[in-house]
Amino acid sequence: MNEQMPPNVFDRPDLRGRVRVFCDRNHAGQILAGMLPGDAVPHALVLGIPAGGVPVAAAIAGARGVALDVAVVSKITLPWDTEAGYGAVAFDGTVNLNEAMLIRTGLTRTEIDAGIAATRAKVTRRTRDLRKGRGPLDISGRRVVLVDDGLASGITMRVAVAAVTRLAVSEIIVCVPTGHADAVRALAAEVGTLYCANIRSGFRFAVASAYRHWTDVDEKEVLSHLKSGSSR
């Protein structure tokens, strides 16, 4: 694969187009931590997108000795396929819909609104449970590193970027272990810098294909990472 990327995108040329390149999310985070230059993260806050992005974020924060928190975002999934999302909702209520996908699904306005409402409720609950005792996310003027475990369509990360931007941060750096080339290219226009170790293309892209060991991440594991990261 030899696709031209914007100048603010950094990847690992030796990992381009490959699958099964990471042992697990921790290994992926360690690789991303090694890609970040020395001046990229001092005094930054690493924000993991739950659930799968938090173990990656924890590995980055631990390797670079910076604080860890969570930016709660969730896909709005199809009624018949909980793995496929037609949009996403962020912790501040921001909604991003994939209008092109919605046309293909044939969902009614009532069904779409019901999906948004259910996802908003999920995000509200997760924010309450995962950030219990932390207070509002106060990141004005800070450099933020947003982390997820992969970038497929990019809609989840894009709504996270929009929500964090509204909090008047000084800079947004996105770190993802793997990403589809089209999504990486589109997202790069909205952030300061984007690090994606494993850029791939093709119709049959799946985030899980970049990992040799892929498991679901539950909220107990997320809370464990956040508890460890908050001490930095």
Tell me the two tokens of residue 178: 């793997």
- 231 falls in which pLDDT band (50, 70, 90)? very low
Write down the architecture of domain 9-225 according to CATH: 3-Layer(aba) Sandwich (3.40)
Contact present, 199 and 5 (Cβ < 8 Å): yes
Cβ partners under 8 Å of residue 57, min gap 6: 29, 46, 47, 48, 49, 68, 145, 147, 175, 225, 229
Q: Which of the 8 DSSP states describes residue 36?
A: S
Residues linked to residue 180 through DSSP beta bridges, in sequence order: 200
Distance separating alpha carbons of residues 121 and 114, to the nearest angstrom: 11
Domain ranges of the chain: 9-225
| Res 150: pLDDT | 96
Digit-coded pLDDT (tens) for 83-125: 778 899 999 998 988 888 888 888 889 989 999 999 999 999 9
For the entire predicted model, the pTM comes to: 0.91
